A = this chain, B = another copy of it.
Amino acid sequence: MASTTRQQAAADKRRQILDAAVRVFARQGFHQCRVSDIADEAGVAYGLVYHYFDSKEEVLDTLFLERWDVLLAMIAELDAREELSPREKLYRIASFIFDSYRHDPELMKVIIVEVTRAANSFGLTHLTKIQEAYQGIARIVERAQEEGQFHTGVSAEFAALAFYGAVEQVLTAWIFEVLPHGEEDFDRAKEFVVETVCSGLDVGRTD
């Protein structure tokens, strides 16, 4: 177990750097911070960051993928659950995303602001990964349309984009404090987004 201790210590240091990076990226932004800021925040020498990562970008990269892959797995799993209504599926996706923010606002801020909404070179690197999320949502909508639970007047791709766009926009509003967000707002937001996308704003629905 001796070597395990060594490996464990190394893995801990790596994580320590990643955690520090989240705080620094959230506070200053990816482009505005220096690698030395991350090292300082982690209480580690400058060069060590380059021992564990090839570049500054790879640090952000790692943070994004760690979390995004969980989302993708979650969407895929949801798609297969025949017993759930499409509305319930969308509700769970919205829940997952909003709860991710509730649980770790700094990490979600970094992911949304520096990757998902970042149209610069970096955002493009992960375009495929981001698209996978849209496509997963679109598949859920499509299936609901085939089964007659959603009407077919709107293409599934558009619907997925609209749903995801609404979620991200609310999150962005929270991140930049354009919209207040107390503890109860998280659950309201889930309901609201799903309600809007599924039932719309018009009066005269059954619901």
B-binding residues in A (CB < 8 A): 29, 31-32, 86-87, 112-114, 117-121, 124, 127, 131, 134, 141, 144, 148-151, 153-155, 157-159, 161-170, 172-173, 175-176, 178-179, 188-189, 192-193, 195-206
Contact B178 A169 (CB under 8 A): no
Contact B29 A154 (CB under 8 A): no
Can you name the residue of chain B whose Cβ is closest to the Cβ of A189? B158
Can you name the residue of chain B whose Cβ is closest to the Cβ of A193? B162
Q: Please report the C-alpha to C-alpha distance between residue A117 and residue B119 in the assembled complex, in whole angstroms.
A: 8
How many subunits of this chain does the assembly comprise?
2
Q: A165-B166, A166-B166, A193-B158 are in contact. Are A150 and B202 (CB under 8 A)?
A: yes
Q: A29-B119, A31-B120, A198-B201 are in contact. Are A170 and B158 (CB under 8 A)?
A: yes
Q: Per DSSP, are chain A's interface residues mostly helix, strand or loop, or mixed?
A: helix
Q: Please report the C-alpha to C-alpha distance between residue A39 and residue B187 in the assembled complex, in whole angstroms.
A: 51
Contact B178 A134 (CB under 8 A): yes
Chain B residues near A179 (CB-CB < 8 A) = 157, 161
Chain B residues near A198 (CB-CB < 8 A) = 200-202
Q: Please report the C-alpha to C-alpha distance between residue A114 and residue B164 in the assembled complex, in whole angstroms.
A: 20
Contact B120 A201 (CB under 8 A): no
Q: A168-B169, A199-B202, A205-B200 are in contact. Are A29 and B162 (CB under 8 A)?
A: no
Name 13 A/B residue pairs within 8 A (Cβ), A-sorted.
A32-B120, A32-B121, A86-B201, A113-B119, A114-B119, A117-B119, A119-B175, A134-B178, A141-B201, A144-B201, A162-B197, A198-B201, A200-B202
